[in-house]
Structure 1
Amino acid sequence: MMEIQKHDLNNYKILTMKNIKIAALALSFVFFSCGTKDKNSKTNTNSENEKVVSKLAATPPMGWNSFDAYDCRINEKEFKATVDYMADNLLQYGWEYAVIDYIWWHPEPGNWDTPRRKGHPDIRYNEDGSPLHPEYTTMDEYGRLLPSVERFPSAANGKGFKPIADYVHSKGMKFGIHIMRGIHRVAAHNATPIMGSKATAKDIAEPFDTCNWCNHMFGVDASKEGAQEYYNSIFKLYAEWGVDFIKADDTMFPPYHDGEIEMIRKAIDQCGRPMVLSLSCGEAPLSRASHLVKNANMWRVSADFWDDWESLEHNFDLLNAWSPFIGEGHWPDADMIPFGRISLQDRPHGKERMSKFTVPEHYTLMSLWSIAKSPLMMGGDLLTTPESTMKFLKNEEILYVNQHSIDNRQVMKQNGQAVWIATDPKTGDKFAALFNLSDKERPVKFNLELESLRDEYKVRDLWDKKELGVVSKELTSVIQSHGAKMFRLTRIKE
């Protein structure tokens, strides 16, 4: 175990968060009804937790996340340009969240290559465990990470992400950030004080508990005095900034960190501002489904998902297994959508490229994510992705299935075919998604008797937005290899 030594805080770039006005948060506090509790207050019961969670994300969240395109390197100019594009082109379809992914507190994250991958943003250390470049860690006197002003100039003078959040809100959109589970090891090394506690970062840190793919953080021991106060303090800061969405990483990839998930949940509930909580990374353990439903709005059921057919096909099985836990306020998450231009400057995953998914595979991904009610988070660079790809994000009838259907489940998957079904709660119509998982074009057949659909049905093709006539007993469509079709079935009443 590494012994953490004290270090002169003057060696670190310190930004303080003073005099931030939070009067505007009072209104959201009243409507959200998440009262602040001290450490002696009775904690929420499980049923209360579920009520709090379900108040947010009544439908699967839709938006854009910077990771697939920019890795950890996005800056304020690039982010604002993306927000402008979303407001002008995607917001009308429901794409409302704009999320800055990881290591936003570092001026040049990943500015060296590591054995893991090109430009992976691990921290380098001296022999005594102290960071080789402490000036790269931007935090305040309480060990709370702050945006790097080199990349986000508007964060200067203690403003943090508030100016950017205000910009996003001015466009009618919502703002999100990525965080890593735990407390930064620089704070632990320097035993920085914890707001609202006599404990220090060193007291609550677990140096043996580090993320196996990003070495910045130590885990937080939930049993220690100061642990909950630390999480309360960072979410207090995020509320002051105006954050609407939190992607909390390294929470489920083994082991499953139930203690820190619960501390995050409690911190959100008492912070005075509603925030969607997204847990990463996967595959989430199915055995912890009830815990996830109580504590999170969305959670990753897949490992990092990229543009290859094998991963896409695997998500059929993952989403099928998680389908019983689809519900208002809690959504199994199949991960971001790697469409368009991804891995800019050959990071984070392979060479810079347009998505390797074929056109039929684009239809399959959007059909599966929609009928399985996965959150929809676009990952490609919106500024350089052509309209021929963006059209897959703009079909209102497909997005309606994602946002409003119920009873979503897989009917069958065998012999290179798969069928999913759902119901429109407003009309009783059925949605049927047919998938050709084989390597050749072929007819895909859905025996309506499998769902006791014994009447005649008018059929509408949702991708082509065309009426196709009437069927009974069987719905059949010739589909390209790795492709999909989505239909609305309206019962003909006598």
Structure 2
Amino acid sequence: MNNKFLGLTPPMGWNSWNTFTWEINDKLIREAADAMASELKDAGYEYIVIDDCWSEKQRDSNGRLVPDRWKFPEGIKPVADYVHSKGLKFGMYSCAGTHTCGGHPGSFEHEFDDAETFAEWGVDYLKYDYCYKPDHIPGEILYKRMSTALRNCGRDIMFSACNWGNDDVYKWIRESGAHLFRSTGDIQDNWESIKRLALSQIGNECYGGNFCHNDIDMLVVGMHGGSNNEWINSTEQGVNVIADSGETMPKLGGCTDEEYRTHFSLWAIMNSPLMIGCDIRRMTPATKEILTNKDVIAINQDIECRGPYCIKQWNNPDNVFSLVKPLSNGDYAIGMFNFGDRVGEMSLQFWDIGLTTASGRGLSVYDCWKHEELGTFTERFCTTVEPHGCVVLRAKVVKV
């Protein structure tokens, strides 16, 4: 690998799966690249990633992957070249098993061939899923295989390991060479799913970090229950499974903009990759405002990538809590979250973050969503937080 800084901070980009599932094609990917270049690139987003179902169902006579001739009639490389022409990076998808979750050829026992193919096409990012894996081979070995292939393919390719948090992934994933790893099952476009995934990460903050980031799954910000797939929209339960793989589609229902704001804030302060899942060609002003909040993104992209620690609210520890993340310049990022259904009165005691009254220091506090200075505080900071809402602060230590 030539880029020694690949994966230094969490990647930011867009993935086709949440909104478009298998209904992808050359035109869509180019339009997504156009939208990212004009609307999102300045905020730091750079990856355009094609998810599952991009290939034919069979390899060619040489054992190589073949792009779907109807979806990508000119092949993949012209699409990658177009993405690169916009100053962006291009990503693709494969699987550690014999087949992808959608039933297309997986990379099992084809790791080096596929890595070379991806390099020839100009791929910069590979999402590597976990469907149809052989039972007798541990996931740790399967991910090491592809990591080795990618590191010897002649191109810098960010490696996104997606085994849904199985097989004690925290214990071995950094050593495997992956730049990010999924620690959860699939996200769904509803508040309960966001809440469940976020709470599952409390206590796991120490496992992510520079060059190997804890991926809580893609963002559903701005989906509002939308999907390009009529089968999903018409399914009564809202959750579907492809074949026998266990891969689920995003459950519909949607969230309020307040809930999406909380979702984005949680992923940012927890150092998760910020991979957008909505249709970025048709973002509402509110969606774009959330996704391009540079104050919140700066927290996610802080160079040290230190995980946050959790401070529970004594009067409601299950639903109201703060996440505090030390930043590289000495500031604190503070997220105050209310998962309850009523307005929450929240208080952060500075003692809990290592700042005592005897030190003669306080905190100068800036609100990252209101974009305004709130003043200097000593001993504690108190506020009210709306149901399913959050307050995100950047706090600087000052003499008082």
Q: Same fold (TM over 0.5)?
A: yes
Does residue 338 (structure 1) correspond to residue 220 (structure 2)? The answer is yes
Match of 1:152 in 2: 72
Distance 2:73 2:264 in 1: 36
Does residue 57 (structure 1) correspond to residue 16 (structure 2)? The answer is no
Out of 162-171 and 248-257, give the one that drifted further: 248-257
Distance 1:252 1:388 in 2: 39
Whose Rg is larger?
Answer: 1
For residues 224-261 of structure 1, the C-alpha deviation after alignment (integer angstroms, 9 at most, x for no partner) is xxx4xx31111111101010000011169996522211
Distance 1:218 1:235 in 2: 12
Distance 1:476 1:252 in 2: 50
Distance 1:179 1:218 in 2: 6
Q: Within 5 Å, which residues of 2 pair with 1:415-434? A: 415-426=318-329, 428-434=330-336
Partners of 1:337 and 1:377 within 8 A in 2: yes
Partners of 1:70 and 1:347 within 8 A in 2: no
For residues 423-450 of structure 1, the C-alpha deviation after alignment (integer angstroms, 9 at most, x for no partner) is 2212x01111000111011212212211
Q: Which amino acid aligns with 1:237?
A: T
Distance verdict in 2 for CA 1:456–1:398, change over 3 Å:
same
Distance 1:254 1:233 in 2: 19
Does residue 411 (structure 1) correspond to residue 310 (structure 2)? The answer is yes
- Look up the SS of the partner of 1:154 in the other structure: coil
Q: State the shift of 1:390 in Å.
A: 1.6
2:83 to 143, 168, 176: 168
Distance 2:116 2:66 in 1: 13
Partners of 1:337 and 1:378 within 8 A in 2: yes
Query: What is the root-mean-square deviation in Å for CA atoms of aligned residues?
Result: 2.4
Does residue 438 (structure 1) correspond to residue 358 (structure 2)? The answer is no
Distance 2:251 2:283 in 1: 10
- Look up the SS of the partner of 1:289 in the other structure: helix
TM-score by length of 2: 0.87
Q: State the shift of 1:288 in Å.
A: 3.1
Match of 2:299 in 1: 401
For residues 435-485 of structure 1, the C-alpha deviation after alignment (integer angstroms, 9 at most, x for no partner) is 011101121221221112223111100111100112111111111101001
Q: State the shift of 1:411 in Å.
A: 2.1
Q: Within 5 Å, which residues of 2 pair with 1:224-373? A: 227=109, 230-250=110-130, 257-285=139-167, 287-295=168-176, 296-341=178-223, 342-346=226-230, 348=232, 356-373=254-271
Distance 2:67 2:10 in 1: 28
Partners of 1:253 and 1:281 within 8 A in 2: no
- Look up the SS of the partner of 1:422 in the other structure: strand
Q: Which amino acid aligns with 1:168?
A: V
Unaligned runs of 5+ in 1: 1-28, 33-53, 107-136, 156-160, 185-210, 221-226
For residues 162-186 of structure 1, the C-alpha deviation after alignment (integer angstroms, 9 at most, x for no partner) is 11111111111000011122345xx
Partners of 1:251 and 1:260 within 8 A in 2: no
Unaligned runs of 5+ in 2: 239-249
TM-score by length of 1: 0.71
Match of 2:96 in 1: 181
Match of 2:241 in 1: none
Q: State the shift of 1:304 in Å.
A: 0.6
Q: Within 5 Å, which residues of 2 pair with 1:28-107? A: 31-32=2-3, 55-106=5-56
- Look up the SS of the partner of 1:407 in the other structure: coil
For residues 146-175 of structure 1, the C-alpha deviation after alignment (integer angstroms, 9 at most, x for no partner) is 1112111221xxxxx111111111111000
Q: State the shift of 1:318 in Å.
A: 2.5
For residues 300-343 of structure 1, the C-alpha deviation after alignment (integer angstroms, 9 at most, x for no partner) is 11111012222212223332232112211110001011122332
Q: Which amino acid aligns with 1:408?
A: G
Distance 1:433 1:68 in 2: 26
Out of 484-493 and 60-69, give the one that drifted further: 484-493
Partners of 1:339 and 1:354 within 8 A in 2: no
Match of 1:117 in 2: none
Match of 2:61 in 1: 141
Partners of 1:370 and 1:398 within 8 A in 2: yes
Match of 1:490 in 2: 396
Distance 2:217 2:352 in 1: 30
Identity value in percent: 29
Distance verdict in 2 for CA 1:59–1:343, change over 3 Å:
same
Distance verdict in 2 for CA 1:334–1:422, change over 3 Å:
same
